[in-house]
A and B are shown apart, each in its own frame.
Chain A
Amino acid sequence: MRPLEGIRVCDFTWVWAGPFGTLQLAHLGADVIKIESSKRLDTVRGLVPADNQPGVNRAGYFNQYNQGKRSVALDLTTAEGKQIALELVAKSDVVAENFSAGVLERLGFGYEELRKVKPDIIVISLSGYGASGPLSPYISYGPAQVPMSGLAALTGYAGGPPMEVGISYGDPNAGIHGAVAILAALWHRQRTGEGQFIDESQWEAAIAVLPEGVMAQVMQGEQPERAGNRDLLHAPHGIFRCAGDDAWVALACRTEAEFAALCRVIERPDLSADPRYATLAARKHNEDALESEISAWTRTRDRWQVAEALQAASLAAHPAMTSADLVADPHLRARGIFVELPHAEVGVRTHVGIPWHLSETPCTVQVPAPLLGEHTDEVLRDVLGYADQPIERLRERGLFS
């Protein structure tokens, strides 16, 4: 039995942060029921349609981060829609939402209301700025958390401008922090029977993973300068160009023994005795020149041959992977990280599965992301005990659109 089998999550989350959090619970075996509506469509159902043919069930973004969940289409602006949602809350262990602060209260689904229908309910509210404080009413998105948290000001090439980090990092970071919080609250409920409300701010969760920046400011009165791929402590430490189109290899050299080995691999044993590089302090001081020496060797060579030669000498190295590299990678394929299940509208596509593996109760993604409203009838019937006729009546009234 998967660890969270028997746990039900009533999932009002959308876009990426919240869905990434509840994805983890689905991975662990929870029954995650996504409440959504075409009248307030999850914006990532439009990002980006398979083969450029539009359709709310065709989006790679949505289908990646909602694997293993069920979808109920429900119009929450109607009294009956609200009533059904409350009935579902009463049958759930966890309620998750990432609307802007206050939206759920206005819908009548604040924590105090929800605990009336389910006294030990665990509610997590995941908002940009949190449920209190002067900025709490305002919206945010994961991409905005990269500059807001200070990560953008710390990331970038030496001497260059602040940079984004390629992804909406504030989202998955908030989502996974949310998953930890929900599980901890479930643990407490398991022990004591007590539920609770969790207030998570995307902004605060993003700052929580910047200790090197915050502590430098606190201890030294200034924040670290942007330094590309270089390390505070070690050198050489970077991503070096190899032969071929946009081909690169990452290298992290952390000890004197590793540096000596590196010099042998790149056929420059003279460098380890060179006073410019003989000590770590000297290497840090002459890092530009040292990086040129390494690039001179890597740039004429294949990135995999470079990585393999370095690893054979016990150095930490790996090509910088593209999506095409990743989906074809023999190591990742051998690990079974990709999920390729048939989906009713887009067929078999490659998705990333569960990044951890259990020895006794293996978890796998068992069903692809749901079609919009795919499980409305099933959930009303099996979870809430509705008969077919009332379901049809409600459908005719447009409740499930």
Chain B
Amino acid sequence: MGPLAGMRVIEAGGGAAVGYGTKLLADLGADVVKLEPPEGDETRRRGPFPPGAEGHAERGGLFLYLNTNKRSVTLDLTTSRGRALFHALLGDMDLLMHSVPPPEMAAQGLDWQTVHALNPRLVQCSISRFGQSGPRRDWKGSDLISSAAGGWATVTGGGPGGEDLPPLKAFGQQADYQGGLHAATAALGVLLGRERHGSGGQHIDVSIQEVVLSFIEMTIAHHAYGGRVASRLGGKVLQPWAMMEAKDGYVFILCVQDVEWQRFVEWMGNPEWASWEIFADRFKRAETWDVLRPFIAEWVAQHTVEEIYTGGLARKLAFAPISTMGDLLASEHLKQRGFFAVLGHPEAGELTYPGAPWKFSATPWELRRPAPLLGQHTAEVLGLDAGTLARLKEERVV
């Protein structure tokens, strides 16, 4: 059993941010009830799908991953009956985590006053693009928009000479996953405070824009400490830190500390240029990278990716191959760690999923059940008999 066994969570609003936030909790043992509109969560339509199953609501890889261990209840929160059924569920919940945009919260029965009055111990965690206040509260967004608004895209992509290439988002929905992670952090912290201090419930306002801003490394520090504006068109703060071409493909070269550079220089056979004053420390090497890069590139080009990666490991250098997804699935190390998990599903069949991000010694992370079918648990969770369920379906409430 996971560490959160017994915790009761309800999820609403859909998308990757709240989906990942509650997946973290569900996989650690919390009982998560996922509310979906009658047409299903938007991530059901996103894929990736197996060939021939495009658009199949039960077979999208993202949905299947994000919703392990959860139960699904369909409920139309824009109807008064739907809201009443939703509110009836809040009585014994610990946490409501949702992604309904601020201007739509009241209409869907999610305004804090209403929720708090129904269950004063409930913690409500609202994840939004721009937060619950401020002049752009009601602006529309998406993962791409959050990546741009939080300042991440501006420092990604490009490279020297890449002026015509736009700012770039990282693959996937990274702004949203981080939004979900920070929401889970705040929610667990507040729930712990409730248990430890006997305090009541409260409302957590998570802005994905601020979450992105909080992790873009040196972007703000460069500005505040050096008056520099970080850009994807500029250089790195230290070098070497680069993707370079080895004999058989790209490899990643990195020396964060000067002692690591010294070990790398020794490996390269202590070439004369490495003793030049202009390469004397990590900052100088960053300034003179245009001069240094060709020397290193020449050495890198004479070796294979594997030689550089494993040779680096042996010398306490954090070099890396540019892994493909196939490489990960075939990794002997990840196999021995039991990282990937195989799980059956009534519609999607047996599939391999990314597994536990951590191993708990006493309360293991576990997959207890696959992602739910749309509305699979509506009757069970809402306590409806067959007749009532049929009537509510007809009225398109569930």
Contact = CB atoms under 8 A, between A and B. Distances in A.
Contacts of A183: 185, 188-189, 192
B155 A350 contact: no
Contact of A3 (B149, B192, B205, B353): B192
B4 A239 contact: no
Interface in B308-366: 313, 316-329, 332-334, 336-337, 339, 351-363
B206 interface: yes
Interface string B127-148: 0001111111001111011011
Interface centre among A210, A231, A250, A350 (most CB of B within 10 A): A250
Interface in B163-213: 163, 165-174, 177-178, 181-186, 188-197, 199-207, 209-211, 213
Contact of B204 (A48, A61, A357): A357
Interface centre among B203, B319, B354 (most CB of A within 10 A): B354
Interface in B246-300: 250, 252, 254, 256-257, 283
A166 interface: yes
Interface string A196-213: 111111011101111111
B216 A219 contact: no
Contacts of B205: 356-359
Contact of A357 (B131, B150, B197, B326): B131
Nearest to A1: B197
Interface in A279-336: 311, 314-327, 330-332, 334-335
B221 A152 contact: no
Given A149-B323, A209-B177, A252-B145, A157 B157 contact: yes
A373 interface: no
Given A150-B327, A211-B354, A213-B171, A50 B225 contact: yes
Interface in A197-242: 197-201, 203-205, 207-220, 223-224, 226, 228-229, 231-233, 237-241
B370 interface: no
Contact of B339 (A140, A194, A207): A207
A1 B199 CA distance: 9
A211 B225 CA distance: 37
Given A153-B322, A211-B172, A139 B316 contact: yes
B185 A179 contact: yes
A181 interface: yes
A264 interface: no
A47 B167 contact: no
A337 to B, nearest CB: 5
Contacts of A207: 328, 334, 339, 354
A360 B199 contact: yes
B252 A360 contact: no
3 tightest Cβ-Cβ pairs between the two chains A and B: A215-B61, A3-B193, A60-B221
Interface of B: 2-4, 6-7, 20, 24-25, 28, 45-51, 61-62, 64-66, 112, 130-136, 139-142, 144-145, 147-157, 163, 165-174, 177-178, 181-186, 188-197, 199-207, 209-211, 213-226, 229-233, 237-238, 241, 243, 250, 252, 254, 256-257, 283, 313, 316-329, 332-334, 336-337, 339, 351-363
12 contacts: A7-B192, A50-B225, A150-B327, A196-B362, A219-B61, A314-B140, A315-B140, A335-B131, A356-B183, A357-B204, A359-B112, A361-B202
